[in-house]
Amino acid sequence: MGKSTLLAYEGPFKDWHRVDLDDLDLLHQAERDPTSLWVGVDQVVIDEVQRAPGILHGIKREVDRDRSRKRFLLSGSANLLLMQRVSESLAGRAVYFVLLPMSLGEMKGRGHPSWFFDLFKGKAPSFSAPFPSEDPIKVMLRGFMPPLLFLEGLEAWIKWWEGYVATYIERDLRQLSQIDSLSNFRAVMEHLSLRTGQVLNQTEVARDSGVSQPTVHRYTTLLEVSHLLYRLPAFYRSRSKRLIKSPKVYWLDPALPSFLMGLHEQEALFQAREVGALFENLVFLHLQALVQLLVPRPRLYYWRTVTGREVDFVIEWGRRLVAVEVKFTESPRYDDAATLRLFLEEYPETAFCLLIHRGTEVRFLHEKILALPWEALCEEPGNDLP
């Protein structure tokens, strides 16, 4: 269950003419005579479009011929904007959406919290304390991909992730690029997983994985193209501080790097030195889901000085800023907000700051800094909480 299932069963797209390029005969037709795929229909879903990037020329020509009539929905397992084989631009003709894994709120049938959007106006939510937050360790092992909703237990989750990674490497990856060595690619994935939430240094990844630096660069780009990996850019609209400008690395789903690291049990994950970074990845997923709901879409960054002072996430919406620090603690302390206070000094125009933690406490650490449990990112104040 995923994007293909969504398009097949949800309106209005379930009633559109469907072309699935996983069908080898339709793929052959798309490569030889793409326009014949939509003869006599005006609303078309083309799934796995990355398998035939040349089809974009025919779509562009069709849309230009009559923009008021023809409608195409293109879905795929790769970011067309980053694929080197895509030479045809749909600029001015297309709107792009990234279908993320489900948030915890979506998994529990809740809507997105509107209070998050009020942060940009400097308005804090009024949650009661203590807030009954769910233990993040379990969900960081399970993950947030839709099929996992129907699986119970560590063994079932591990088998699903084994199949997901194998399918990605053996099928989707081969469609995107020629891979010299699948074992080398797997090694790069594993070493990148160990750097979750860290500034990306491809030379170090090459040294530790035994794969050449140019190959590490190519494999990292492939992971980004296929939406498994995200490079979070640095925020450096600074007046005085010397800042780091290299990107940090996060993953599609926190359970993926957990699996790649070999962290398959709750106690092992809880004791791992990487648990804080994986918790950041959990928050990153939920922040991504929230910023996609705003128009225009906010930009997500991190902020770090050369002396190592860091704010995990900076959200920029127009000229408005919201800063978010993540701490894997049950009891947030005043000192945990020290870097957020430094950020406020540097950027006094910042509307509000959050300190997200794994406990149940709701607490102001500054007039503009509120400590909140991570599950608040999926809740409205006043909801009937479990």
Separation CA 317–CA 300 (nearest Å): 9
Looking at residue 385, its pLDDT comes to 41
Which of 174-188, 320-334, 349-363 bottoms out in mean pLDDT, i.e. has the lowest? 174-188
Answer with the residue of higher pLDDT: 386 or 111.
111
3-class DSSP assignment, residue 262: coil
Q: How would you label 120-150 residue by residue, b for 16+ Cβ within 10 Å and e otherwise?
A: beeebbebeeebebeebbebbbbbbbbebee
Q: Kindly report the CA angle at 326 between 107 and 370, in degrees rounded to 5?
A: 95
Looking at residue 13, its pLDDT comes to 84
Q: Residue 254: which of 276, 281, 230 has the closest Cα?
A: 281
Looking at residue 386, its pLDDT comes to 39
Checking if the pLDDT of 4 tops 70, the result is yes
Q: How would you label 252-279 residue by residue, b for 16+ Cβ within 10 Å and e otherwise?
A: bbbbbbbbbbebeeeeebeeeebbbbbb
Residues 6+ apart with CB under 8 A from 182: 169, 170
Residue 9, classified by CB atoms within 10 Å of its CB into exposed (0-12), middle (13-18) or buried (19+), is exposed
Mean pLDDT (whole number) for 172-201: 87
Mean pLDDT (whole number) for 346-370: 95
**Residue in the structure block whose two tokens are 């701490």:** 327
Instruction: For the chain, give the number of residues.
Output: 386
Residue 344 pLDDT grade (very low, low, confident, very high; cuts 50, 70, 90): very high
- Identity of the amino acid at 75: S
**Residue in the structure block whose two tokens are 């996983």:** 22
Checking if the pLDDT of 85 tops 70, the result is no
Which of 29-43, 160-174, 300-314 bottoms out in mean pLDDT, i.e. has the lowest? 160-174
- Residue 283 has a CB neighbour count (10 Å cut-off) of 22
Looking at residue 301, its pLDDT comes to 96
Cis before 34 (ω within 30): no
Cis before 296 (ω within 30): yes
Checking if the pLDDT of 80 tops 80, the result is no
**Residue in the structure block whose two tokens are 């990107």:** 247
